[in-house]
Amino acid sequence: MAETYEPKILAFLCNWCAYAGADLAGVSRFQYPPTLRVIRTMCSGRVDPLFIIEGFKCGYDNVFVSG
C-alpha cells in the first residue's frame, strides 16, 4: 500500500499578525498537520534569509514567512 506524500513545512509567523491567526485556529480546535513546524518571530521582517536556507538544508520541503 502506497503512503501519501505530506510535505514538511517550516513556518516563521509574525507575533502580531500571522501567529495571532494561528493561535486563534488552535483555540478553535482546528488540527494542524503534524508536518508543520511553527516558529513565532517578533516581526516577519526580522527573519534572516539564512534561516530560510537553513530550513531547506534541514530537510524541509517548504519554508513559509508570514506577517
Q: Given this model, what pLDDT does residue 1 score?
A: 57
**Cell numbers 518571530: residue:** 41
Alpha-carbon gap, residue 54 to 19, rounded angstroms:
21
Q: What is the pTM of this model?
A: 0.84
Question: What is the chain's mean pLDDT, rounded?
Answer: 90
Tell me the chain's radius of gyration from C-alpha atoms.
13
- Sorted by where each begins, the domain ranges of the chain are 9-66
Q: Name the more confident of 60 and 22.
A: 60
> Residue 2 above 90 pLDDT?
no
- Mean pLDDT to the nearest integer, 39-49: 94
- Mean pLDDT to the nearest integer, 27-52: 90
Q: Name the more confident of 5 and 26.
A: 5
60 close to 10: Cβ distance less than 8 angstroms? yes
20 close to 67: Cβ distance less than 8 angstroms? no
Alpha-carbon gap, residue 21 to 43, rounded angstroms:
14
